[in-house]
Amino acid sequence: MLRSHPTSHDITGWVLAGGQGQRMGGADKGLQLFQGQALALRAAQRLAPQVHEVKLNANRHLSDYESWSYEVHADSVDGFAGPLAGMLTGLQHCDTEWLLCVPCDSPFFPLDLAQRLSMALGAQQSLIATAWGAELASNGETVCRPQPVFCLLHVSLQQSLQDFLRSGGRKIDAWTSQYANARMDFNLPHDHRHAFANANTWQELKDLEH
């Protein structure tokens, strides 16, 4: 029986920093500085108060990541297979019932992310909860759109995700759509307007700093 509202003690935080940084010329994105601090370190420290422990997923410069005293794991799937490979690795190294995934390149993700995603699980008894971020539509209205890399996953999903990757699957929503997926909208007045904005390019990183 799933606990309907996981607490911080039931959740391992997982920072995804294993990408190739192609739109940054191949830079290891998690090590790039944002306001004087490495992006992945900022993410880990932002996540730490919300969860039982934090671990990192990286595929290059592992000693640099390990120097921050967090447990670091490279993808268990070869070939830079994308964020789902990082999520699978997280599930394989998760010591709690739930894994909370965040990307390394969204420096303003919510400080109550774990709490609110946990609340969303209660309504559906789901195995997955996904954040939905508020964005300004072209007509001026505020709409919420899914942010699939920000998700809370039950450890029982490990085999399903492994099978999906082995079959050639790479898209997060193609895998998660197989399950009831609890939704949490982050559209409250106190939510940061760039809560889920990510830095894919040098310009986006610079823009987020100001």
Contacts with 148 (C-beta within 8 Å, 6 or more apart), sequence order: 130, 172, 173, 176
Q: What angle do CA 158, 146, 81 make, to 5 degrees?
A: 45
In residues, how long is the chain?
210
What the block records as the tokens of 68 is 């921050």
pTM of the model: 0.94
Separation CA 15–CA 23 (nearest Å): 19
Separation CA 6–CA 35 (nearest Å): 33
pLDDT value for 4: 63
Separation CA 16–CA 33 (nearest Å): 16
What the block records as the tokens of 63 is 């000693």
pLDDT value for 1: 46
Q: What are phi and psi of 121, to 5 degrees?
A: -65, -30
What the block records as the tokens of 25 is 């010329």
Separation CA 41–CA 45 (nearest Å): 6
pLDDT value for 141: 83
Domain boundaries, given as residue ranges, for the chain = 8-209
Separation CA 201–CA 141 (nearest Å): 27
Kindly compute the dihedral angle of the four CA atoms of residues 58, 168, 158, 103, in this order, to the nearest 10 degrees. 40
Place domain 8-209 in its CATH homologous superfamily.
Answer: Spore Coat Polysaccharide Biosynthesis Protein SpsA; Chain A (3.90.550.10)
* Residue numbers of the chain with a pLDDT score lower than 70: 1-4
Closest CA to 99 of 183, 57, 41, 155: 155
